[in-house]
Amino acid sequence: MTGDVAVLGVGMHPWGKWGRRFVEYGVAAARAALADAGIGWQEVDSVVGASTVRGGYPGYVAGATFAQALGWQGARVASVYAACASGAQALDTARARILSGLAEVVLVVGADAAPKGFFRPAGGDRPDDPDWLRFRVLGATNPTYFGLYARRRMALYGDTPEDFAQVKVKNAALGALNPNARYRKRVTAEQVAASAVVADPLRLLDICATSDGGAAVVLAGMEFARRHGIAEPVRIRAVSTVSPRYPNTVLDLPDIATDSAAGAEPAPMPFRASIAHAAYEEAGIGPEDLSLAEVYDLSTALELQWYEDLGLCAEAEAGKLLREGATTLGGRIPVNASGGLASFGEAVPAQAIAQVCELTWQLRGEAGDRQVAGARVGITANQGLFGHGSSVVAVR
Amino acid sequence: MSRTRTPVVAGWFTGEGEGFRLLGTRCSACASVFFPREDAFCRNPGCAGGELAEVPLSPRGRVWSYTDSRYRPPSPYVSDPELSWEPYALIAVELESERLVVLGQAVPGITVADLAIGMEVEAVPGVLHEDEETTWTTWQWRPTGATA
């Protein structure tokens, strides 16, 4: 059993398309998190940056980039990359330093400046790179994979485009209440249905945008938090960064094919479910203990998939859970009270950190109009391409 | 002027017409199949590691799921920006004996309206794009019931 670490402070730079360097968003988020924590930058003894592939070299060495921008003060730095799961891996690295006694106060920062349109691979001819190959050979953008998953849910579980649209309607209504969200207008099911198809059966308003944004968290040991005068901090109780088990039989970005099950039987639990399972095991809780969840709704249909993978309902019943209103504010288990990616768009290395910012505000009772009443336990869930699990459990 | 026919990726498929096959590799120790081909090492963690031999994949499989690309994909996908974008379908196909799912473009003319999960499709040779010297070839999936 691992120990808890304290969340001393959280901060974000609002999501949007601001046209500035990712460093600026990260620094703004870091300063907000330090102010929220009541911690001076000089007191931070380690910085972990979630890297971005879009900022050139400074993006790859994000930890050092943010430390330099905040003013070199000698802190140890680390930079981690795990695609969409980069933020969770940064938190995991920070937590490991604290629990091992190597650091007392760690600043975790992720930020991105996203291009217009589809994400695309880095330039050059790289026939050994699966991410390059899927674009070169198939033109398979991220939304086409979301479309494959959505269509399969429709065929297997009876989900409908109207169900998918209701996820957007729910998340847009919640995002309208969140000052850090990029999209703050409510959306109707008719507007979703009238938006252009991008990757059948998904329409523009079913698919998350790509955004600029930054998020930061200040973590510390429980003893430090007490000395700092915070007797009951929000605590991180689990960080799951598990990878798949061979054979991974669900087609996953950026792959052109799955593993073969001809030489080994698949594990009973598919990858996405195993991500949450590891978090539950580490935290010693189950889905019945949750007050809320923040999940990676790259598409509306994927949000439904996460309901099942988190065990909020049985397989095939996510649509029913949504239609019952269980996953909106006031329901049994609100999902994406922040408004989710539907309202934020994706700022890749910042996103998993932003999920933890939301849990923190909710668990403190500081989430304003989108507050989940009496929130005590929250989970985040996310999956980074190339086999990266990401799930964080926070408690108060 | 004749163009050279060149596979978009070397060693992933072979043959023409009825003889067309996707090519993978199979581990001699555990029988795991790899596509895209894995020539260096077996990735089954329970396998001590055998020889990886080239193996043609089953020519037919069943639709696992499908979608399409209504907008022009970015580079390195090659398309003529002078021409209006023509969407194409993408099909993920489950091969029964290899127990894996392979993604591919549908043959031209097949749209999502023609497809259903579980439908039988076959791998056929196709053209990805052409430039001045080269016809870049690929694999495509075609419903076995289609006459196109």
User: Are A5 and A233 contacting, i.e. CB atoms less than 8 angstroms apart?
Assistant: no
Domain count, chain B: 1
Residue A175 phi, psi (nearest 5): -60, -30
Q: Are strands A46-50 and A105-112 parallel, antiparallel or unpaired?
A: parallel
Over range A70-89, report the average pLDDT: 97
Residue at B135 is within a domain: yes
Identity at A392, one-letter amino acid code: V
CB contact under 8 A, A144 and B68: yes
Residue numbers in B near A151 (CB within 8 A): 65-67, 117
Residue numbers in B near A249 (CB within 8 A): 99-101
Q: Among candidates A207, A209, A211, which has minimal Cα distance to A143?
A: A207
Greatest C-alpha distance within chain A: 58
User: Are A7 and A234 contacting, i.e. CB atoms less than 8 angstroms apart?
Assistant: yes
**Optimal mutation site among B8, B57, B70, B95, interface A, most CBs of chain A within 10 A:** B70
Locate the chain A residue with the closest alpha carbon to B45. Answer: A246
Q: What is the pLDDT of residue A196?
A: 98
pLDDT band for position A315 (cuts 50, 70, 90): very high
Show the tokens assigned to A157: 């579980």
pLDDT at residue A1 is higher than 50: no
CA dist B73 and A288 (Å) reads 42
Residue at B47 is within a domain: yes
pLDDT at residue A233 is higher than 80: yes
Greatest C-alpha distance within chain B: 53
* CA angle, A258 then A264 then A269, to 5°: 70
Is A152 within 8 Å of chain B by CB? yes
Residue B1 to chain A, least CA–CA distance (Å)? 25
Beta bridge partners of B130: B135
User: Are A241 and A384 contacting, i.e. CB atoms less than 8 angstroms apart?
Assistant: no
Q: Are strands A377-384 and A292-295 parallel, antiparallel or unpaired?
A: parallel
User: Are A16 and A206 contacting, i.e. CB atoms less than 8 angstroms apart?
Assistant: no
Classified as helix, coil or strand, A215 is: strand
Residue B53 to chain A, least CA–CA distance (Å)? 14
CB contact under 8 A, B65 and A149: yes
Residue B31 to chain A, least CA–CA distance (Å)? 5
pLDDT at residue A269 is higher than 80: yes
CA dist A280 and A276 (Å) reads 6
Beta bridge partners of A391: A240, A381
Domain holding B88, by residue range, is 4-143
CB contact under 8 A, A262 and B36: no
Residue at B51 is within a domain: yes
Residue at B148 is within a domain: no
Preceding peptide of A266 cis, ω within 30°: no
Over range A143-159, report the average pLDDT: 98
Q: Which helix (H) or strand (E) holds A143?
A: helix A142-157
CB contact under 8 A, B66 and A151: yes
Is A254 within 8 Å of chain B by CB? no
DSSP classification of residue A207: B
Residue at B83 is within a domain: yes
Share of chain A above pLDDT 90, in %: 95
Residue at B132 is within a domain: yes
Residue at B52 is within a domain: yes
pLDDT at residue A191 is higher than 80: yes
User: Are A71 and A107 contacting, i.e. CB atoms less than 8 angstroms apart?
Assistant: no
DSSP classification of residue B105: E
CB contact under 8 A, A261 and B101: no
Residue numbers in A near B98 (CB within 8 A): 260, 262
Residue A240 phi, psi (nearest 5): -100, 120
Q: For the segment A36-48, what is each residue's pLDDT rounded down to a tens digit?
A: 999 999 999 999 9
CA dist A46 and B109 (Å) reads 57
Instruction: Say what the pTM is.
Output: 0.96
pLDDT at residue A57 is higher than 70: yes
CA dist B108 and A18 (Å) reads 40
Residue A218 to chain B, least CA–CA distance (Å)? 38
pLDDT band for position A2 (cuts 50, 70, 90): low
**Mean pLDDT, rounded, of chain A:** 96
User: Are B40 and B27 contacting, i.e. CB atoms less than 8 angstroms apart?
Assistant: no
Give the count of Cβ contacts less than 8 A between chain A and B. Answer: 150
Share of chain A above pLDDT 70, in %: 99
User: Are A341 and A297 contacting, i.e. CB atoms less than 8 angstroms apart?
Assistant: yes
Show the tokens assigned to A223: 């003893």
CA dist A296 and A228 (Å) reads 33
User: Are A144 and A254 contacting, i.e. CB atoms less than 8 angstroms apart?
Assistant: no
Preceding peptide of B125 cis, ω within 30°: no
Residue at B71 is within a domain: yes
Cβ within 8 Å of residue A249, ≥6 positions away: A258, A259, A261, A266, A270, B99, B100, B101
Residue numbers in A near B106 (CB within 8 A): none
Identity at A383, one-letter amino acid code: Q
Q: What is the pLDDT of residue B147?
A: 61
Q: Which of residues 3-42 of B touch A (CB under 8 A)?
A: 8-9, 27, 30-36, 42
CB contact under 8 A, A264 and B97: no
Q: What's the Cα-to-Cα distance from A106 to each of A65, A103, A369, rounded to whole Å?
A: 15, 7, 30
CA dist B40 and A280 (Å) reads 37
pLDDT at residue A27 is higher than 90: yes
Q: Which of residues 95-134 of B touch A (CB under 8 A)?
A: 97-105, 112, 116-118, 128
Q: What is the pLDDT of residue A118?
A: 81
Q: Among candidates A87, A107, A84, A142, which has minimal Cα distance to A272?
A: A84
The beta-carbon neighbor of B68 closest among A200, A256, A260 is A200
Residues in chain A: 396
Q: Which helix (H) or strand (E) holds B13?
A: strand B13-14
pLDDT at residue A236 is higher than 80: yes
Residue B120 to chain A, least CA–CA distance (Å)? 16
pLDDT at residue A258 is higher than 90: yes
Q: Which of residues 53-72 of B touch A (CB under 8 A)?
A: 64-71
More confident residue, A284 or A1: A284
Other Cβ atoms less than 10 A from the Cβ of A123: the count is 9
Handedness of CA A369, A373, A377, A380 (dihedral sign): negative
CB contact under 8 A, A132 and B43: no
Show the tokens assigned to B88: 């194409």
Other Cβ atoms less than 10 A from the Cβ of A384: the count is 24
User: Are B65 and B24 contacting, i.e. CB atoms less than 8 angstroms apart?
Assistant: no
Show the tokens assigned to A103: 């650091």
| pLDDT tens-digit profile, chain B (148 residues) | 689 999 999 999 999 999 999 999 999 999 999 999 999 999 999 999 899 999 999 999 999 999 999 999 999 999 999 999 999 999 999 999 999 999 999 999 999 999 999 999 999 999 999 999 999 999 999 999 876 5
CA dist A41 and A46 (Å) reads 10
Q: What's the Cα-to-Cα distance from B15 to each of A127, A253, B19, B96, B144, rounded to whole Å?
A: 22, 29, 5, 21, 18
DSSP collapsed to 3 states, A49-80: EECCCCCCHHHHCHHHHHHHHHCCCCCEEEEE
Residue A60 to chain B, least CA–CA distance (Å)? 22
